[in-house]
Amino acid sequence: MSKVALVAGATGLVGSHLTDILLKSPEYTKVISFVRRASGLEHEKLDERVISFDGMKLLPHEEVNDVFCCLGTTIKKAKTKEVFMKVDYEYPIQLGKIGKEHGATKYLVISSMGASPGSPFFYSQVKGNLEEGLMELHYPSLHIFRPSLLLGERQEFRLGEKAGEIFSRMVRPIMVGRLKRYRSISGKQVAYGMYRTAISSTGEKVTIHESDQIQQL
pLDDT per residue, tens digit, the chain (217 aa), is 689 999 999 999 999 999 999 999 999 999 999 999 999 999 999 999 999 999 999 999 999 999 999 999 998 999 999 999 999 999 999 999 999 999 999 999 999 999 999 999 999 999 999 999 999 999 999 999 999 999 975 455 454 544 444 434 444 454 445 545 557 899 999 999 999 999 997 677 999 999 988 988 7
- Residue 2: the pLDDT is 86
CA 209 distance to own-chain centroid: 12
SS3 147: coil
Q: Do 214 and 185 meet the contact criterion of CB atoms below 8 Å apart?
A: yes
- Residue 175: the pLDDT is 44
- Residue 156: the pLDDT is 52
- Residue 215: the pLDDT is 85
Cα-based distances in Å from 179 to 71, 151, 182, 185 = 27, 18, 6, 13
- Residue 184: the pLDDT is 82
- Residue 173: the pLDDT is 54
Cα-based distances in Å from 122 to 64, 114, 126, 144, 165 = 33, 11, 6, 19, 22
- Residue 157: the pLDDT is 44
Beta-ladder partners of 186: 151
* Encoded amino acid at 206, one letter: V
* Encoded amino acid at 10, one letter: A
CB atoms closer than 10 angstroms to residue 172: 15
CB atoms closer than 10 angstroms to residue 87: 18
- Residue 111: the pLDDT is 97
Catalytic residue set: 123, 127
- Residue 216: the pLDDT is 82
